[in-house]
Structure 1
Amino acid sequence: MSKEVIKNPWTTLSGESKYDNRWINVTEYQVLNPAGGKGIYGKVHFKNKAIGIIALDEDDNTWLVGQFRYTLSEWSWEIPEGGGPFEEEPLACAKRELKEETGLTAKRWTQIARVHLSNSVSDEEGFLFLAQDLEHGEVEFEETEADMKVMKLPLKDAVAMVDRGEITDSLSVIALQALARMRKI
């Protein structure tokens, strides 16, 4: 199916940055909606792309990373993931994130998805990869990852964690379900 070019039905009257840091910018726009009514629209602009990786060994084992997520006030098991600068290729970012969080490097890489994570309020774009032919090394956690735990488990068990609602991170859910569908798990 080809993408049809559709004219933007929204009219932006003005925009004002309300918050800005090194990761995000929040802008409030005064708009005319598609019906012509006046309103506001808030947009969260992400200053990096989101990257997620499923590392898979020859025995169908994968690696999850766990950490306490400040925004949720709870522990979260996820695939290795992080952010990457827009000017850097997503694959280069994925290689770096996998090494940082698990110590793994991979000889074979496959992009399995490109997603928009919350297109109603943000422009965040994510890239998901499968990493295979793995080699082990040392983790290189960032300062915010000091409490991170790494768990190796069968891929089917990670998919079951998604099915039971134990993995709720969107990149992880999308990647694990996509791989399960591709591998008919």
Structure 2
Amino acid sequence: MINEEIKNPWKTLSGEVKYDNPWIKVTEFQVINPAGGRGIYGKIHFKNKAIGIVAVDEALNTWLVGQYRYALDAWSWEIPEGGGPLNEPPLNAAKRELQEETGLTATKWSQIIRLHTSNSVTDEEGFIFLAEDLQQGEASLEETEADLKVWKLPLKDALQMVIDGKITDSMSVMALLMVARKFQV
């Protein structure tokens, strides 16, 4: 079944851009759904890739970043994350985001997850990396990150925050669970 070609059961009749800015484009499509009924479908197209990094040192410490998330109207602890231009290799964006938010650089990188952030409303693609062999430097925060807090803590404590529901960002949850399994935390 996995290797079978599945044909698209949706038929697109028309599409109209309802909103467009430098980060996202929202399009409303008139469709015929798989059962033959007419309807609408909204799609959010992100103009960047989602990038996440779990940095782990030799003592199995990791780094979280905390910031107030406007869309949630709440504070959020997360792995270092950001956006990477669609035409840029995801690893380049990951290296930049880790340095910008934490001041860390790494000599060992591995991609641990490629994902779609919400396949029901968006085509956004995400990439999460593990960064090891770390060196500390100076962070270079963007204007929107002026309230960003950086927290170095044991990986096991970050995992417990996931289990306790204190980390709710989906990329962070997936990434920390994957890395905790890798290191058998």
TM-score (norm 1): 0.98
Instruction: Please give the secondary structure, in 2, of the residue aligned with 1:94.
Output: helix
Q: Quick one: distance in 1 between partners of 2:44 and 2:21? A: 11
After the TM superposition, which segments of 4 or more aligned residues of structure 1 sit over 4 Å from their partners?
A: none
| 1:163 shift after superposition | 0.3
Amino acid in structure 1 at the alignment position of 2:55: A
1:33-182 equivalent positions in 2, closer than 5 A: 33-182=33-182
Q: 1:5 offset after TM fit, Å?
A: 1.8
The secondary structure found in structure 2 opposite 1:165 is coil
Matched residue SS, 1:66: strand
Distance 1:147 1:68 in 2: 7
- Structure 1: tracts of 5 or more residues without a match: none
How many residue pairs get aligned? The number is 185
Query: What RMSD in Å do the two structures reach over aligned CA positions?
Result: 1.0
Which digits, 9 at most, give the CA deviation of each residue in 1:93-148, with x for residues without a partner?
Answer: 00000000000000000100001110001111110000000011000000000000
Change in 2 beyond 3 A, CA 1:184/1:3: farther
Q: 1:184 Cα deviation (Å)?
A: 2.3
In the aligned structure 2, how far is the partner of 1:161 from the partner of 1:3?
A: 38
Q: Percent identity?
A: 70
Task: Give unpaired runs (5+ residues) of structure 2.
Answer: none
* C-alpha separation in 1, matches of 2:112 and 2:63: 17
CA distance in 2, matches of 1:4, 1:157: 43
**Quick one: distance in 2 between partners of 1:3 and 1:83?**
32
Separation in 2 of the partners of 1:3 and 1:91?
29
- 1:4 CA displacement: 2.8
SS of structure 1 residue aligned to 2:174:
helix
Whole-Å Cα distance in 1 between the matches of residues 71 and 3 of structure 2? Answer: 35
Counterpart in the other structure of 2:18: 18
Q: How far 1:61 sits from its partner (Å)?
A: 0.4
